[in-house]
Amino acid sequence: MSAANGASVRSLFENAKQSPFRTCQWPFGDPQDLETFRYCGEPTLAPHSYCATHVERAYRDPDEEREAGRAAA
Ligand SMILES: [Zn+2]
């Protein structure tokens, strides 16, 4: 584990504390592996904590779509 990576991860969390919803919190990589883990970082789509792309992905639920289809039929 290098000091440079530790500092960069720490500043990510500090930014999140100050303004948790300013950048997309969609995680990339393995949270247990600080070498690869990072957040998306795109501007968020208020009031969500994800960008437009990831809000859509987070709330799209295959089961829900199936329910909607059944209700319409
Ligand atoms: Zn995103």
Q: Above 80 in pLDDT, residue 13?
A: no
Going from the Cα of 33 to the center of ligand 1, the distance in angstroms, rounded, reads 19
pLDDT digits (tens, 9 = 90+) for 15-36: 544 445 689 999 999 989 999 9
Going from the Cα of 58 to the center of ligand 1, the distance in angstroms, rounded, reads 10
Return the pLDDT at 28.
Answer: 93
Q: How many CB atoms neighbour CB 24 within 10 A?
A: 21
Going from the Cα of 55 to the center of ligand 1, the distance in angstroms, rounded, reads 8
pLDDT digits (tens, 9 = 90+) for 29-61: 998 999 999 999 999 988 888 999 999 998 887
Question: Residue 56: which residues within 8 A CB-CB, separation 6 or more?
Answer: none
Return the pLDDT at 16.
Answer: 47
**Domain residue ranges in the chain:** 3-72
Going from the Cα of 21 to the center of ligand 1, the distance in angstroms, rounded, reads 11
